[in-house]
Structure 1
Amino acid sequence: MTDNIYHGLVTSNLAKFFSRGWGEVQSYKKLLKLRRKLQSRPHFLSLLNSIPTISCKLYYWRRRYLTATPLLREEQIGSILVENPYYGSRKPLSQTRSSLCYVSDLLVMGAALVLESYVLHDWLHSQGIGPVGITGMSMGGHNASLAGSVLPDATAVVPCFSWATAASVFTRGVLKDAVCWDVLQNELLHSKLGQSKIYQILQEEIITCDSLNTGFTDATSDFEQSSNHFGEAMRYMKIVLDYWTHLKYYSIPVDPTLTVFVTAKEDKYVPREWAEDVRQIWPGCSVQSVDGGHVTGMLLQQKRLRKILCQTMQDLSASLHN
């Protein structure tokens, strides 16, 4: 029920995602190069010499008072809260609340958080602080899992209210109705992106990749057969987001048994039935479910989430001592 109510708010005209389209062609060219390094841990480590200094602003009062403060008080676990790119003080002036202007913004956000998480992880170890875990909720949960895939040693990873890919969130979940499909469809058919080489490059690279063939075929037939007038945009959205965000195209964490995915039993934002089970992608990881939906899970299940996080950190400590 709460997911449906919140859905009405985010799908209002003032909160539409990707209102300015897919993004610049040059952005995708740069993202393609970066993705090839991110999906392989050794290649990713060679990239880190050029990472700039990070600035973290702690504006997330809910995270501070419902997660970080209790963890410190009850379990003596300290937290670093990283503000998402495109959120808070890092939000572009042209952006309305958390509704990203371009599809490429979502990809840049994920890549930036992966890089920043690694740098923070490395700094903590250099200061003798540890063991280290990483967690996040919703989009932050998925970015936490991506970050966990590149970290060079065993780390506690607890992604909350996320799953294997961001594609189903925007093409199958309730956020589907908050996307400017008319803008995206028009741009694919009539703009520079649809006529550019990057469009063909993405198509060719995805189609020729064996692990993406099935998903490409399924997306094509599924959305083309639907009554939706924006089938081409939805099909391409699934292809692009799977290509950049699906966990199966990234490294498995050093110790996947220290990864616990927390899901909500009635989550309408992250429909898990449209993506592979994370336990098949990362053998050894586990899944724990909490009552309620996406929104109520984040608001009402904080105690349970902290308990899962603490247990995972204890498991990490035990594995390091052994």
Structure 2
Amino acid sequence: MVSINLGVLHYFLDHMYGAFVHRTKLSTPFFSKGWGGSKLDLLESLVKQLFPVSEVQNLPPIMVQPIWKMVWETKNACLREGIFRTPCEERLISALPPESYNARVAFLAPKLVPPQKMACVVHLAGTGDHTFERRLRLGGPLLKQNIATMVLESPFYGLRRPRLQHGAKLLCVSDLLLLGRVTIEESRGLLHWLEEEAGFGKTGICGVHAAMVGSLHPRPIATLPFLAPHSAVVAFCEGVLKYATAWEALREDAEEETGMTLEQAKQRLRSVLSLTDVTRFPVPKNPKAVIFVAATDDGYIPKHSVLELQKAWPGSEVRWVTGGHISSFILHNDAFRKAIVDALGRLQWRVS
């Protein structure tokens, strides 16, 4: 009875937070500027070009070459920050705001161990995670196990946030698809750099977009989607974020051309966001090195969404932490770290 009551409390807290932040006028909603016009058409076509799924794991590698500066170093570890031009094709770059052209990364690594005997995990941002600090705190204790942490600042976040955007509230639907596609391309470039340039013996990816990146990578890597849906549909059309969506702005933007009703606007958003459905992507090279960490009472990401992706990727594992979406980010860092260690342990060391 106690555990049930606690679960209800966590779920209630997610919805209370969502109601306060998203239903009041204190916060600008997502997609307040509408669909994104021709940018949305471009992004839809580019996503569809990733298929058939039999070919996407054979995409050519993406090359990045970060320019590094030392932030601090001790006898055993160092923290560097790097910057590189986003490696995306020109059509994507032209759709990005200028603030997002350059990617920023933080790189926390041991100093006394050769790279071929270390692992490194690229940590991707969750919604609203604008800085490096939280993810560096998550990865810091892993240094003792010779696991380095690389943190990518997402496009549209942090110093890459467009001037007119408030917080994490993307202005257009096209921005959401663009954020995802650019994050995938930049992550692919960083993984290639870690493997080929830095020479790390094992690599991994964690965060909201981790499943897509792990699916597309041509080699086995640890893939750790943390509190992540199988599709943006469940986040924006079913979970708490549906209260943060500017439905009327979407209806009005489309009405000028099609006379769309509010219900039709909702169906149109579901259709667009279905392009992010990771169950359509190929199974990663080593599905046993895929560990989903999900919350038992998540008001943002329903249980069925996590289980759908696990079903699509036989051999993958789901681990449940007790709590809601927000409380889990605060209370369960040890569970996230253990998942990282265990997923990397299921990989073979690369032979250079």
Cα–Cα, structure 1 residues 163 and 154, in superposed 2: closer, same or farther, change >3 Å? same
CA deviations 1:274-316 (Å, max 9, x no partner) are 6861122111111110000000011110011101111111111
Kept in 1, the 8 Å contact 2:44–2:272? The answer is no
1:63 aligned residue: 135
1:306 aligned residue: 337
Which residue of the other structure, out of 258, 266, 270, is the alignment partner of 1:238? Answer: 270
TM-score by length of 1: 0.79
Where structure 1 has 5 or more consecutive residues not aligned to the other structure, the ranges are 200-228
SS of corresponding position for 1:79: strand
Distance (whole Å) between structure 2 residues aligned to residue 68 and residue 305 of structure 1: 9
Kept in 2, the 8 Å contact 1:134–1:144? The answer is yes
Kept in 2, the 8 Å contact 1:11–1:175? The answer is no
Distance (whole Å) between structure 2 residues aligned to residue 38 and residue 113 of structure 1: 18
Which residue of the other structure, out of 92, 114, 118, is the alignment partner of 2:188? Answer: 118
Tell me, yes or no, if structure 1 residue 189 matches structure 2 residue 247.
no
CA displacement at 1:44 relative to structure 2: 6.4
SS of corresponding position for 2:292: strand
Kept in 2, the 8 Å contact 1:131–1:316? The answer is yes
Kept in 2, the 8 Å contact 1:152–1:254? The answer is yes
2:24 aligned residue: 12
Kept in 1, the 8 Å contact 2:61–2:192? The answer is no
Cα–Cα, structure 1 residues 253 and 274, in superposed 2: closer, same or farther, change >3 Å? closer
Alignment of 1:64-143 (within 5 A): 64-65=136-137, 67-72=138-143, 74-126=144-196, 127-136=198-207, 141=208, 143=209
Distance (whole Å) between structure 1 residues aligned to residue 62 and residue 217 of structure 2: 15
TM-score by length of 2: 0.73
1:164 aligned residue: 230
1:226 aligned residue: none
Moved over 6 A (4+): 49-52
Aligned residue pair count: 278
Distance (whole Å) between structure 2 residues aligned to residue 38 and residue 131 of structure 1: 28
Kept in 1, the 8 Å contact 2:229–2:301? The answer is yes
CA displacement at 1:153 relative to structure 2: 0.6
Identity %: 28
CA displacement at 1:37 relative to structure 2: 2.5
Higher mean C-alpha deviation, range 113-122 or range 40-49: 40-49
Kept in 2, the 8 Å contact 1:173–1:269? The answer is yes
Cα–Cα, structure 1 residues 309 and 275, in superposed 2: closer, same or farther, change >3 Å? closer
CA deviations 1:71-117 (Å, max 9, x no partner) are 11x32210110011111011100100000000010000110111111
Q: Which of the pair is proportionally richer in strand?
A: 2
Which residue of the other structure, out of 127, 145, 148, is the alignment partner of 2:214? Answer: 148
> Residue type of the partner of 2:253?
E
CA displacement at 1:39 relative to structure 2: 6.1
Cα–Cα, structure 1 residues 80 and 39, in superposed 2: closer, same or farther, change >3 Å? farther
CA deviations 1:222-257 (Å, max 9, x no partner) are xxxxxxx72111111111101x21012222111111
Tell me, yes or no, if structure 1 residue 261 matches structure 2 residue 261.
no
Distance (whole Å) between structure 2 residues aligned to residue 48 and residue 304 of structure 1: 32
Kept in 2, the 8 Å contact 1:38–1:44? The answer is no
Task: Tell me the C-alpha RMSD between the 2 structures.
Answer: 2.5
> Residue type of the partner of 2:332?
Q
Cα–Cα, structure 1 residues 154 and 81, in superposed 2: closer, same or farther, change >3 Å? same
Tell me, yes or no, if structure 1 residue 2 matches structure 2 residue 13.
yes
Distance (whole Å) between structure 1 residues aligned to residue 51 and residue 23 of structure 2: 32
Q: Which of the pair is proportionally richer in helix?
A: 1
Kept in 2, the 8 Å contact 1:160–1:262? The answer is yes
Cα–Cα, structure 1 residues 133 and 44, in superposed 2: closer, same or farther, change >3 Å? closer
